[in-house]
Structure 1
Amino acid sequence: MTQPVVLRPRFGLILCILVWTIVAICIVSLIVLGDAGTALRYTPAFLLAAFLCWMLFWMPAVAVEASGVTLVNIARSVRISWPAIVSVDTKYSLTIRTRDAKYTAWAAPAPSRMSTMRATRTDLSHLPESSYAGGTVGLGDIPNSDSGLAALNIRRYWEQLQRDGHLDSRAVEGTGVKVTWHVWQLAVVGVLAVATLAGILI
């Protein structure tokens, strides 16, 4: 792998653009049609909606790179080194298990029932070997789903490392997991929430 693969929810950017457009129209309308005081009161609420939309639907991601897998979720990011990975599951969403815990990716939910009904046998063939645990493959592994595409990229690289002997020792530094909290994003939400509440109560 020469370049990291970053996967995000497919509908996330479209939804964010739609919400941001509505927010921009609302703020401009307040400024043009209303007074400065009204605009000042309600703008934080619109900005909070726009920021939360970004945090929920576009910021989350699954990054697959040479050093490991990073799950960027809403409140925190979890970086998992390759030797620490025990299994990859897609029953409800992409879930990576280590010796001590399991970590779920907000950005890679399992497909809806409608999507699985459209799946064919071909969709579930030629997948990485670890996809067929127990002789069967889950519908969450369908490559055209968010969970399936993320699992496909992770398993391919994970299995290649195993075949090349890079994971033979199974040596893990510490837990092999590093958690980073999204401090500034949560702080922005807190500030906008307080400003929104203040605007409503004024």
Structure 2
Amino acid sequence: MPQPVVFRPRGGLILAVIAIALSAVVLVFAGITGGAEGLVLWGWPIVAFAWLAWLVYIHPCVVITDGFVEIRNILRTHRVPWGDVDEVGSQYALTVRTRAGRSIRAWAAPAPSARRAMSTRREEVAHSPGDGDMRRPSDAEGTESGDAATIVGRHLESYRRAGGPALPGSATTTWNVPLTVLTAVLLVAAAASLVGAAAHG
């Protein structure tokens, strides 16, 4: 069985790695200069910052397998079997529309900025799925929404060509409860540490 294709935007990965690396450096510096007290005062805000970088830029992704497309957003994860995919779009972000008419957008594959859209050339969308007059800048090669929509669209087309059955109503949504709880705990701890640092100062 082929390995799943996992799509994450490179720009977000780079930002997250930089943020996490800086957090590690600052955490070490706080420990060296302030000792245990410095870590107690500044450790939680630093850890929370690194966690948010991971949560926003690394955790969200689009996973594509032979059986389904999975859209992992910050708070929820959507798994849509190919038989329940009605349409794939990219107007505001990679969007998977189910046979029931539900639209699921991917945090990891947003449409390009207005500036990028204005500078998009016709040849950049020439190989994107869809009719020529219906293609948008968000379908262009090299954009997060366009690249993701192309991959998802090709898998959907392969599924339909192979005679895959329609499976309406089979999409599932799961709330990312552990991540949400951990994020809340870290933010509360960070806020408490900052209040304590202000009082200490």
Give 1:119 shift: 2.9
Contact residue 128 and residue 146 of structure 2 kept, 8 A: no
| Pairs within 5 Å for 1:121-160 | 121-128=122-129, 131-132=130-131, 135-160=133-158
Contact residue 63 and residue 69 of structure 2 kept, 8 A: yes
Give 1:23 shift: 1.1
**Per the alignment, in what secondary structure is the counterpart of residue 59 of structure 1?**
coil
Opposite residue 56 of structure 1, the aligned amino acid is: V
Give 1:11 shift: 0.8
Say yes or no: does 1:171 pair with 2:170.
no
Which residue of 2 is the match for residue 116 of structure 1?
117
**Per the alignment, in what secondary structure is the counterpart of residue 26 of structure 1?**
helix
Which residue of 1 is the match for residue 51 of structure 2?
51
> Share of identical aligned residues, percent?
32
Structure 1 residues 127, 194: closer, same or farther in 2, change over 3 A? closer
Structure 1 residues 121, 43: closer, same or farther in 2, change over 3 A? same
Give 1:123 shift: 1.9
Give 1:60 shift: 0.6
| Pairs within 5 Å for 1:53-92 | 53-92=53-92
Give 1:85 shift: 1.0
Give 1:118 shift: 4.0
Question: RMSD in angstroms over aligned alpha carbons?
Answer: 1.8
Which residue of 2 is the match for residue 183 of structure 1?
177
Opposite residue 97 of structure 2, the aligned amino acid is: R
1:54-107 CA distance string (max 9 Å, x none): 100111101111111000100111001111111111111111111141111000
Aligned equivalents of 1:3, 1:117: Cα separation in 2? 36
Aligned equivalents of 1:36, 1:126: Cα separation in 2? 57
Aligned equivalents of 1:198, 1:120: Cα separation in 2? 50
TM-score with structure 2 length normalisation? 0.89
Opposite residue 15 of structure 1, the aligned amino acid is: L
Structure 1 residues 95, 35: closer, same or farther in 2, change over 3 A? same
Give 1:163 shift: 2.1
Contact residue 68 and residue 79 of structure 2 kept, 8 A: yes
Aligned equivalents of 2:17, 2:128: Cα separation in 1? 34
Opposite residue 13 of structure 1, the aligned amino acid is: L
| Pairs within 5 Å for 1:20-31 | 20-31=20-31
Opposite residue 26 of structure 2, the aligned amino acid is: C
Structure 1 residues 113, 200: closer, same or farther in 2, change over 3 A? closer
Aligned equivalents of 1:117, 1:94: Cα separation in 2? 19
Count of residue pairs the alignment pairs up: 195
Which residue of 2 is the match for residue 103 of structure 1?
104
List runs of 5+ in structure 1 lacking aligned partners: none
